[in-house]
């Protein structure tokens, strides 16, 4: 049975993510304790809100270097995924630097609303165990104003005005820009794939 820890850096809407994991038979524990996080088989970094306060919460909890040093599978969700990159344009925020690239604001206009809220199609760009068994088409639920452009670590993209990274992975570091816990069977499948890594 995987030992999954949800990083508790405060300010995150974690209840629905815990419940989604419980439906998969995983009782994920919430922790901000560095020793507990290091001992987990899988680590999930949730996030709701803005990049600068998110990084400040991690610094205040003494978790920045802990997360940077992890070697087990780690998943960033929504803001948590954005914090995995080098930098966010949101308040000009240096992030964890675990993935190459920068996070920028989505470009809106009369036809493209920002924030991007609602269901959107995922487009697989390359094969990976994280995407195993994902249906085609696959739709996920997004709530965000910032995103990373597609790059070398992008496994699947979505398009809202322009294309952006929806699922990323480099080594042990994974990210989902959408909310898998709100994305029905697709989200459940991707969470199951993550805890199987």
User: Which is it for the CA torsion 136, 103, 154, 186, positive or negative?
Assistant: negative
Question: In a structure prediction context, what are the per-residue pLDDT tens digits for the chain, which is 197 residues long?
Answer: 899 999 997 765 688 899 999 999 999 999 999 999 999 999 999 987 899 999 999 999 999 999 999 999 999 999 999 999 999 999 999 999 999 999 999 998 888 999 999 999 999 999 999 999 999 899 999 999 999 999 999 999 999 999 999 999 999 999 999 999 999 999 999 999 999 99
Catalytic machinery residues: 78, 179, 181
Compute CA distances 161 → 13, 138, 144, 147, whole Å: 27, 19, 13, 12
138-144: strand order across its sheet: 29-31, 4-7, 42-45, 74-77, 173-176, 162-170, 154-160, 116-124, 138-144
If you compute the radius of gyration of the chain from its CA atoms, what whole number of angstroms results?
A: 15
The pTM assigned to this predicted structure is 0.96
As a CATH number, domain 4-196 is: 3.40.50.880
Compute CA distances 52 → 44, 79, 88, 93, 166, whole Å: 19, 10, 9, 6, 21
Cβ count near 110 (within 10 Å): 5
């Amino acid at each position: 049975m995987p030992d999954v820890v949800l990083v508790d850096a405060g300010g995150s809407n974690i209840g629905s993510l815990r419940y989604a994991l419980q439906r998969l038979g995983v009782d994920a524990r919430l922790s901000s304790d560095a020793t507990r996080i290091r001992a987990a088989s899988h680590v999930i970094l949730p996030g709701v809100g803005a990049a600068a306060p998110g990084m400040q919460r991690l610094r205040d909890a003494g978790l920045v270097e802990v997360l940077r040093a992890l070697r087990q599978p780690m998943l960033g969700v929504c803001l948590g995924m954005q914090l995995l990159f080098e930098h966010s344009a949101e308040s000009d925020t240096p992030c964890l630097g675990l993935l190459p690239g920068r996070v920028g604001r989505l470009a809106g206009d009369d036809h493209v609303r920002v924030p991007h809220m609602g269901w959107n199609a995922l487009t697989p760009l390359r094969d990976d165990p994280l995407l195993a068994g994902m249906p085609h088409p696959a739709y996920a639920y997004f709530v965000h104003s910032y995103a990373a452009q597609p790059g070398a670590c992008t496994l699947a993209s979505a398009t809202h005005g322009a294309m952006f990274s929806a699922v990323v992975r480099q080594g042990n570091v994974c990210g989902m820009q959408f909310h898998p816990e709100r994305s029905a069977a697709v989200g459940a499948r991707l969470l199951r794939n993550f805890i199987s890594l």
